[in-house]
Chain A
Amino acid sequence: MQEDRRVTRRRFIQGAVGAAAAFTIVPRHVLGGTGNTAPSETFGGALIGCGGRGNGTFGGLGPNVKKLAQCDVKFLTKADNKLIYSDYRRLLERKDIDVVAIATPPGWHALISVAAMEAGKDVLCEKPMTRFISEGRAVVEAQNRYKRIFQIGTFGRFGESGNRDSIRTHKIMASGLLGTNCKAVHRKQGGLKVKEWSGMVKAEPQPIPKSLDWDMYCGPAPLRPFHPHRFGGSHRGYWDYEGGGLSDMGQHHFDPVQWRFAKDYTSPVEIEPYAPPAHPEAVAMWGWVEMKYADGLTFVFESHEWGKGYDRKEERGVRLEDLSEEDRKKIEEMPDPEPLVSFPDAIRTRKQAGGHAEAAHRCATLLHLANAAIRTGRKLRYDPVNEQIIGDEYANRLVNQPMRSPWHL
C-alpha cells in the first residue's frame, strides 16, 4: 500500500513539473530546496559494479531508491548508455540519479565515490573502503566539500552502538580519562580468508573477453596482461586491486570494534608484522600484525593460517576499575552517544550516516597499515594526524601510490 501511495505522489509531482515519462523518477533536486529532500522521498539510484556483491550493496540504499541504471566494465558490448553503462562517468552525468551503490573491486572505490559526490550523488560504497590510505582522505574531503552522504557497506557498528557494554567502553575511551594507560587488547583471531583470497604468482596471460573493458578494469593500477583470476571476486588476491582477506574481511570486523573503542578519528602509531617476505603483486601468507594506538590500546590481526601464533598479549577489555572513583562518576554522568543514522535516513534527513567517510577511512587505514607492514616486513611508526609513515620513505610509498593516467583524485 505504501508503495502505491508513493508512486501516486510521485506521478502527481511529475505532472506538476511537466515531466513527460510516466516512470521517470523526479530527481530530488527538482523537488527539494536546500538539502534536496524530495517530498516523495523517492530517489533515483544506480549500481556501479555488478558482480557478486552488486545487488546486496544496492539493497543497502533502502526501499525508497529505484534502480534507474547499472554500470560495469564487463558490459562493454551491451552498454546502451540509458539503462546499462560500461563507463561510470557517463552514468554520473545523469541528473535523475541521486544515489549510487558502488560494488566494484576496491581499486575503484575511492575514485568512483569521489566522482559521484562531485556529481552531487550520495554514496553507499562496499567495503573495504579504499586501496590505500590517501584515497580515504580524498573521499572524506569530497564528502565534506560537496556535503553528500557517504556510508560504507558494512553495518556492524549499528548493532554495536546499541550494546550497553560497548557504549560504556566507548564513553571511557572517548573521555580520554585513561590517558596513555589504556591496557585494552582486541585480537581478531582467524576468519580473514588468507589462503582463500591469495593471488596467483604463476599465471599465463589469457585473451581479454570481448565484453570486458580491461583497461578500465585496471583503472588507476598498472595495466597487466589479462588473467581471469584477476577478475570476478578473486581480484582480492592482488595488491593492484585490494589487499587480500585481511582487507576484505578486516573492515567488517574492525568497523564495530573501532566504534566501541572510539577510534573513528585517529589511527595506530606503531605497527609490527610477523610475515614472510611479500610477493610484489600477489597477496600471500602472513602470521600476525600488532597495532598500537597512542593511548596504549592494541589491536591484533592474527591469520591462524601461517607461522607461529601471536603470544604477546591476552585479549583484555576496558574496565571501569581502570579508572579512579572520581573518573568513574564522570563516566556515569556522561550522556550516551547520539544514535547512529542509517543510510536511508541520512539521505532523507541530510544527517551524517553512521558509517561516514572519516570512520570508514580510519577503519580502512587499519587494514592498509597492517598490509604495509606485511609488504615491507618492517615495524612502522605512523603519524595519525598527517597520515604518513614516519622515517620510512619506502613504506610511505604504499600510503599514497601513484595512479595511472587519466585517473586522479
Chain B
Amino acid sequence: MAEPSEKLLELVGRMPDPDDRGMYCTNIDKEKIEAAIAEIHKGGTENIIGVIDMLVEPGRGDDVKAHYALHCIGLYVCKLGEDARSQFGEALVSQLGGNRPKAVQKYLIEELQAFGGREAVEKLGSMLTDEDLCEPAAMALVAIRRGARRQFREALGKVKGRSKLTIIQNLGVLRDRRSVGELTKAAEDDDQDVRIAATWGLANIGDAGSADLLIRIADNSSGWERIQATKACLMLAEKLIAAGQKTDAARTYKHFQETRSDPGEQYIKDLAADALASVG
C-alpha cells in the first residue's frame, strides 16, 4: 500500500467530522462534500485505491472520513454514468483477495453490493469459498444478479457449513433451474436449515417435478420444518397455476385438504379447499 498523497489526504479531510455523539448531524455541508468527492474522482483509480488504503479494521484506528468518502464516490459515479461506475467497480474489485484485513474487504464487497456490476461478478464468485467473506459476497452477487448463478453453482461443491447454506439459499433466490438436482439432494441434507433453504428454493424456481418431494417432506416433518415445507408446497402450487399447470397445483391442494386433519392445521385444510375450488 502506497502512502496517500497530501492532496488526497486533504480532500478526504474535507469530509465532515462526527459530532460529539459520533454522528453526522452537525455541520454537514452538501456542496463542500460533493466538491471534494468530484475532486477525488478526478484523480481516477489511483485516488480510489488511495481512499481504500485509508480504511482500517473496526477498532484499529480512525477511518470515518475515508469510509464515508468511498461511499460518496460510489454515489457520485452512479450519477456520472456507466463508464464511471464500472471504473469504480473495477477499482474495488482490484483490492479484493489480497492481504487487506477481512473487515476492510467486507466493506469493499458491501460497496459492490451497492454499486457493482458485471465487472465484479467473477471476483465475488471467488470470495464465496472464503468462510469470512462468503455471506457478503453472496449478498453482493444477488444484488448484481447478472452472471451470479454460475458463480454460486461453481462454488457449491467447494464449501461446507454456513457457506453451503448460503449458496443453497441463493441458488433458490436466483431461481437457478440448472441447480434443481443439487437442491433436490440438499432437500434431504442432515442440516435442517439447508433442507428448509433447498425446499424453499425448489418452490421459488417453480419446478413442477419437485411437487411430490415437497409434499413428502411436508408430511414427514414436524414443527418449524413442517410449517416451512408446507409453505414451499403452497408457493410451488401458486407458481404452477401461474404457469398454467393447474392440474399439478390441484394435486397439492387436494392432498392438504384430505390429510391436514389436526385441528392445529385446520387453516391449511381450509385454504387448500378454497384454492382447490378456485382452480376448478
Binding site for B on A (CB under 8 A): 27, 29-30, 33-34, 36, 89-90, 92-93, 95, 115, 118-120, 145-148, 194-195, 198-205, 222-223, 225, 237, 275-280, 282, 284-285, 306-307, 376-378, 394, 397, 401-406, 408
- Asked if B256 CB lies within 8 Å of chain A CBs, one says no
Q: Could you tell me the distance in whole angstroms from the C-beta of A341 to the nearest C-beta in chain B?
A: 19
Q: Does B119 contact A (CB under 8 A)?
A: no
B142 in contact with A120 (CB, 8 Å): no
Tell me the complex Cα distance, A394–B28, Å. 24
Tell whether A89 pairs with B224 under 8 Å between CB atoms, given A29-B263, A378-B78: yes
Which of A30, A222, A377, A394: most chain B Cβ within 10 A? A394
Enumerate 7 A-B pairs (CB-CB under 8 Å) in ascending A order: A36-B266, A89-B224, A145-B234, A203-B22, A378-B79, A394-B85, A402-B143
Partner of A29, one of B200, B227, B264: B264
Per-residue 0/1 for B67-87: is the Cβ within 8 Å of any A Cβ (1 yes, 0 no)? 110011001101100000100
A222 touches B75 (CB 8 A): no
Shortest beta-carbon distance from A186 to chain B in Å: 26
Which residue in B21, B30, B113, B173 is a CB contact (below 8 Å) of A408?
B173
Taken together as a complex, chains A and B put the C-alpha atoms of A232 and B78 apart, in Å, by 35
Closest Cβ neighbor of A27 among chain B residues: B264
Q: Chain B: which residue is nearest A119 at the CB level?
A: B227
> Within B221-271, which residues are at the interface with A (CB < 8 Å)?
223-224, 227-228, 230-231, 234, 238, 263-268, 270-271
Closest B residue to A306 by CB, please name it.
B28
In Å, the complex CA distance between A92 and B227 comes to 9
A202 touching B224, Cβ below 8 Å: no
Residues from chain B with a CB closer than 8 A to the CB of A36 are 266-267
Question: Would you give the shortest CB distance from A399 to chain B, in whole angstroms?
Answer: 11
Roughly how many angstroms separate A403 CA and B200 CA in the complex, as a whole number? Answer: 14
CA distance A148 to B227 in the complex (A): 15
List of A residues within 8 angstroms of B34 by Cβ: 277
Q: From residue 22 to 51 of chain B, which have CB atoms closer than 8 A to chain A?
A: 22-25, 28-30, 33-34, 37
CA distance A284 to B15 in the complex (A): 14
Question: Which 6 A-B residue pairs are closest in the complex by CB-CB distance?
Answer: A95-B264, A276-B30, A402-B142, A402-B139, A284-B24, A200-B22
User: Does B59 belong to the interface (CB within 8 Å)?
Assistant: yes
Which of B34, B67, B139, B267 counts the most A-chain CB atoms under 10 A from its CB?
B267
Please judge, given known A-B contacts A198-B24, A282-B23, whether A145 and B271 are in contact too, CB under 8 Å.
Answer: yes
Q: Which residues of A contact B274 (CB under 8 A)?
A: 147
B70 to chain A, nearest CB (A): 8
B25→A285 contact, CB < 8 A:
yes
A279 to B25, CA, bound (A): 11
Q: A92-B224, A397-B143, A402-B143 given as contacts; is B21 within 8 A of A200 (CB)?
A: yes
| Smallest Cβ-Cβ distance to B21: which chain A residue | A200
Tell me how far the C-beta of A207 lies from the nearest C-beta in chain B, rounded to whole angstroms.
11
Q: Which of chain B's residues has its CB closest to A34's CB?
A: B270
Decide yes or no whether B176 CB sits under 8 A from chain A.
Answer: no
B62 close to A120 (CB less than 8 A):
no
A402 CB to nearest chain B CB (Å): 4
Counting CB contacts under 8 A, is B181 at the interface? Answer: no
**CB atoms of B113 and A402 under 8 A apart:** yes
B105 an interface residue at 8 Å Cβ cutoff? no
Which residue of A is nearest B234, CB measured? A145
Given contacts A118-B227, A223-B135, contact A394 B78 (CB under 8 A): yes
A13 CB to closest chain B CB (Å) equals 13
Q: Given A29-B267, A205-B59, A280-B68, 15 more contacts at CB 8 Å?
A: A92-B224, A92-B227, A120-B265, A198-B24, A201-B22, A277-B34, A277-B68, A279-B71, A280-B111, A282-B23, A377-B79, A378-B79, A397-B114, A405-B166, A406-B165
- Provide the residues of chain B in CB contact with A145, threshold 8 Å: 234, 238, 271
Q: Say yes or no: A277 contacts B75, CB within 8 Å.
A: yes
Q: In whole Å, how far is A326's beta carbon from the nearest beta carbon of chain B?
A: 40
- Which residues of A sit under 8 angstroms from B59, Cβ to Cβ? 204-205, 225
Specify which of B79, B110, B196, B234 is in contact with A280 (CB 8 Å cutoff): B110
When distances are taken between beta carbons in the complex, the residues of chain A under 8 Å from B114 are 280, 394, 397
Please name all residues of chain A whose beta carbon is closer than 8 Å to the beta carbon of B33 when the two chains form the complex: 276-277
Asked if B173 and A222 make an inter-chain contact with CB atoms under 8 angstroms apart, the answer reads no
- Determine which of B30, B64, B267 lies in contact with A120 in the assembled complex, contact meaning CB atoms within 8 Å: B267
Q: Contact at A202–B227, with CB atoms within 8 Å?
A: no
A278: which B residues are within 8 A, CB to CB? 71, 75
Cα A212 to Cα B259 in complex, Å, equals 40
| Cα separation A377 to B139 with both chains bound (whole Å) | 23
Interface residues of B in 123-148 (CB under 8 A from A): 135-136, 138-140, 142-143
Q: In the assembled complex, which residues on chain B have CB atoms less than 8 Å from the CB atom of A276?
A: 28-30, 33
With both chains docked as a complex, state the minimum distance between the C-beta of B40 and any C-beta of chain A, in angstroms: 12
Cα–Cα, bound, A360→B209 (Å) = 36
- The reply to whether the CB of B162 lies closer than 8 angstroms to some CB of chain A is yes
**A29 with B24, Cβ < 8 A, contacts A406-B193, A408-B197 known:** no
Bound complex: CA A33 to CA B266 (Å): 8
Cross-chain contact of B64 among A92, A146, A202, A408 (Cβ < 8 A): A202
Question: Is the Cβ of A147 less than 8 Å from the Cβ of B267?
Answer: yes
**B62 engages A202 (CB within 8 Å):** yes
Tell which of A201, A205, A377 touches B68, judged by Cβ atoms closer than 8 Å: A201
Contact indicator A198/B79 (Cβ below 8 Å): no
Q: How far is the CA of A237 from the CA of B25 in the complex (A)?
A: 11
In the complex, the chain A residue whose C-beta lies closest to that of B109 is A222
Which residue from B71, B223, B267 sits with its C-beta under 8 Å from A277?
A: B71
Measured between beta carbons, the chain A residues less than 8 angstroms from B267 are 29, 36, 120, 146-148
* Interface residue from A148, A202, A378, A406 paired with B196 (Cβ < 8 Å): A406
* B-chain residues with CB within 8 Å of residue A401 when the two chains form the complex: 139, 143
